[in-house]
């Protein structure tokens, strides 16, 4: 069971309250993984203030909950290199996960490598590009070549890159399909998929900060 520490909780006391609140809401003694949802509160997602101090405070609360056995593992989400460095500079427990937007046509290679170098498992959220991948003719053709669905190709692509894909579906048949990814993609096709023109339009989800361009 994974849950997220709200992007807005950027003080030690807010983070402690949010962690304990999640445990109470779910009526659990511990959670498997808790991640800071974003280095910046959503309203400031594209702003330049890095919230370094707030993230260090939130991390301290996560570390203490980890050491107390309330959280089995702790990590980050949507953290770029500078945000990761800030956590590493003052942490006693290193982050175990970085959950980031990564899918065919949008592969932040440097961030993936950096997160891995720092000992994190990279979780790829939206591996089907929030459904948009299924509209891309080039991806459809490659999926046909492998005799798989577009979501299967998208999920396998993330696995080939050493990431843990997190597909979402409300349909049990799709869930079964998404788990059936025991095939491999050739190096040539991986290169094509990596270098494909980036999907920019996430449909109605484009209004969410994570789908509307990266902060600089």
The verdict on 207 binding ligand NAP (CB under 6 A) reads no
Contact map string, positions 109 to 138, toward ligand NAP, x by CB under 6 A = ----------------xxxxxxx-------
**DSSP summary character for residue 125:** E
The verdict on 178 binding ligand NAP (CB under 6 A) reads yes
The verdict on 78 binding ligand NAP (CB under 6 A) reads yes
The verdict on 151 binding ligand NAP (CB under 6 A) reads yes
| Between 25 and 171, CB nearer to ligand NAP | 171
| Between 13 and 81, CB nearer to ligand NAP | 81
The verdict on 172 binding ligand NAP (CB under 6 A) reads no
The verdict on 106 binding ligand NAP (CB under 6 A) reads no
Residue 178 class from Cβ within 10 Å (0-12 exposed, 13-18 middle, 19+ buried)? buried
The verdict on 55 binding ligand NAP (CB under 6 A) reads no
| Between 25 and 69, CB nearer to ligand NAP | 25
Candidates 73, 91, 169, 215; binder of ligand NAP (CB under 6 A) is 169
Instruction: Count the residues of the shown chain that bind ligand NAP, applying the rule CB under 6 A.
Output: 23
List, in sequence order, the alpha helices (H) in the chain.
12-26, 52-67, 81-90, 109-117, 137-146, 150-160, 172-179, 187-194
> CA 78, CA 99: separation in Å to the nearest integer?
6
From residue 144, alpha-carbon distances to 10, 139, 149, 153 in Å are 46, 9, 7, 10
Write the DSSP string, 50-107: --HHHHHHHHHHHHHHHHTTSBS-EEEES--HHHHHHHHHH-SS---EEEEE-BTTB-
Interface residues with ligand NAP (CB under 6 A) are: 37, 77-78, 99, 125-131, 149, 151, 166-171, 174, 177-178, 210
């Amino acid at each position: 069971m994974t849950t997220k520490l709200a992007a807005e909780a950027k003080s030690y006391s807010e983070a402690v309250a949010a962690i304990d609140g999640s445990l109470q809401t779910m009526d659990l003694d511990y959670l498997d993984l808790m991640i800071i949802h974003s280095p910046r509160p959503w309203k400031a997602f594209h702003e330049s203030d890095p919230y370094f101090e707030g993230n260090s405070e939130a991390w301290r609360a996560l570390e203490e909950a980890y050491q107390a056995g309330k959280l089995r593992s702790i990590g980050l989400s949507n953290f770029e290199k500078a945000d990761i460095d800030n956590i590493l500079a003052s942490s006693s427990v290193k982050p175990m996960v970085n959950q980031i937007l990564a899918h065919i046509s949008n592969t932040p290679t440097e961030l993936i490598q950096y997160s891995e170098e720092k000992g994190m498992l990279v979780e790829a959220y939206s591996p089907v590009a929030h459904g948009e991948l299924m509209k891309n003719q080039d991806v459809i053709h490659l999926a046909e070549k492998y005799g798989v669905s577009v979501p299967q190709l998208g999920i396998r692509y993330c696995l080939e890159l050493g990431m843990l894909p997190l597909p979402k579906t409300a349909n049990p048949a799709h869930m079964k399909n998404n788990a059936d990814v025991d095939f491999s993609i050739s190096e040539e096709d991986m290169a094509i998929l990596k270098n494909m023109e980036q999907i920019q339009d996430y449909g109605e989800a484009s209004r969410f900060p994570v789908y509307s361009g990266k902060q600089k």
